[in-house]
Structure 1
Amino acid sequence: MSDNSYIHRLHTGSAGKPILVVLHGTGGDENQFFDFARRLMPDATVLSPRGDVSEHGAARFFRRTGEGVYDMADLARATDKLTNFVKDIAVDCGAGQIFGLGFSNGANILANILIEKDLFDAGVLMHPLIPFRPKPNPALSGRRVLITAGERDPISPKDVTQALADYFTGQGTDLSLEWHPGGHDIRPNEIEAVRRFFEA
């Protein structure tokens, strides 16, 4: 591959089929969603990178200075790096559309790429936290986004999640929003919502 700057797992699917990029949460790794993604889209190429930032030994995709406080310069660095990495792998594998799925920190970097770059055709954001006002992006019009979240999530508060959903709706995105009554944990109704999203 033309860019090996992330430790990653890769399953090369059928040429012309989508590539599904899966992005772990803080403390996860390239194994967290790899098998799940293979089951979701058996014919697709699956790419699962490991975040290149260590926070007390826990892998992340970008740095933060406190809970919910992002190092914005490092977020910009990570956004550019991951965008280029995914583009190169997609070209090398002859992939068609580019889909993404991220949880927690992985959802945050995926959301920022959606906001900043014209890359992903569709994305699933599981328990994202975007604690800033995103810039307008007309390229999001018509693209599909699913947000899943917990109504009592102490890490990704409900009002901040709703603000992100409203942002995507305001950009003309085809947005779906799936809640569960718990916190920062993945529940069965979220998994079913993700399955429906990728079957559509």
Structure 2
Amino acid sequence: MIRNTSLWISIGILILISIFSFTIMNSSKEKTTLHYLVRQPKIKTAHPPLLLLLHGVGGNEQNLFSFANDLPDNFLVVSARGPLTLGSESFAWFQVNFTSGHPQINEQQAEAARVSILNFIESLKNEHDFDDKQVYLMGFSQGGIMSYSVALTEPEKIKGIAVMSGRLLPEVKPLVADPKRLEKLKVFISHGKQDAVLHFPFATDALAYLESKGIKPDFHPYDEGHTINKQMFDDVNLWLKTNLDH
């Protein structure tokens, strides 16, 4: 009787361990790592391309998502919220200080955000069906910065990026992939010549750097400030449609 009792206790322990292990393994697969909004593709396909929208500092996932209905019908459109809370409905990918006249970033946060976006794309596969060979990033300001950081370091995971009023972090350059790995990456750059937040030379410097790596960006300067106007949106929309694999 004692032996039978011990046996059932042992079996019970094993069952509990199995249930616990199963729960831990699956809980990591159930939830994405960032809060987001989604627009399903208007054209139903088995594996739609993914367009990930990344907002600027102080913004949130609603900002670029306001354009979602007018983005190409083929895409699964996802707008992600930055991991840092700055205030009510105000978020960022990393902290930045402009008091010196030049943007000074928190490098640890910027690197953590780069990794978090890559992890987010991976975890998104558990909730939505999309073609992981056709992942595009579209970012404004700090979202554009993150688009550069993610795509240039992991070009096999990103098909193309649209950087609007952003810049390329010098801190990420040591991590940039070699030109052979970058040769298929598609890049769109738009920037206002009157941008008082991230000055226009940030765009031309990024353009020159990318060209030195063998990338030929689609570059669009505008007589505008730190914003997205209708012409900018129309141009990036056309670029997305043109560079999408059908």
Query: Matches of 2:38 and 2:231 in 1, distance apart?
Result: 27
**How far apart in 1 are the matches of 2:201 and 2:136?**
26
Larger strand share, 1 or 2: 1
TM-score (normalised: structure 2): 0.74
Tell me what 2:145 maps to: 108
Structure 2: any 5+ residue segments left out of the alignment?
1-28
1:124 to 133, 154, 162: 162
Distance, in Å, in 2 between the alignment partners of 1:143 and 1:43 is 20
Q: Where do 5+ consecutive residues of structure 1 fail to align?
A: none
| CA drift at 1:84 | 0.8
Cα RMSD (Å) of the superposition? 2.0
Amino acid of the structure 1 residue aligned with 2:162? V
Instruction: Quickly say closer, same or farther: Cα 1:193–1:90, change in 2 above 3 A.
Output: farther
- Indicate the structure (1 or 2) with the bigger Cα radius of gyration: 2
Q: State the 1:29 CA deviation.
A: 1.4
Match of 2:10 in 1: none
Question: For 2:119 and 2:108, how far apart are their aligned partners in 1?
Answer: 17
- Paired position in structure 2 for 1:196: 238
Residues 1:94 and 2:129 are matched in the alignment: yes
**What is the TM-score with the length of structure 1 in the denominator?**
0.90
**CA distances 1:52-96 after superposition (whole Å, capped 9, x unpaired):** 112355311112244611111111111001111112214642311
Residue 108 of structure 2 aligns with which residue? 73
1:60 aligns with: 92
1:185 & 1:92 partners in 2: Cα distance?
32
Residue 25 (structure 2) pairs with residue 25 (structure 1):
no
In structure 1, the partner of 2:9 is none
Q: Residues 29 and 36 (structure 1 numbering): CA distance in 2 closer, same or farther, change over 3 Å? A: same
Higher helix share: 2
What's the counterpart of residue 149 of structure 1?
191
2:33 is aligned to 5
1:142-185: CA deviation from partner (whole Å, max 9, x where unpaired): 31110100112122122221111112222222311111112112
Deviates more, 1:50-59 or 1:189-198: 50-59
Does the Cα contact within 8 Å between 1:100 and 1:123 map onto a contact in 2? Answer: yes
Count of aligned residue pairs for this structure pair? 200
- How far is 1:11 from its partner? 3.0
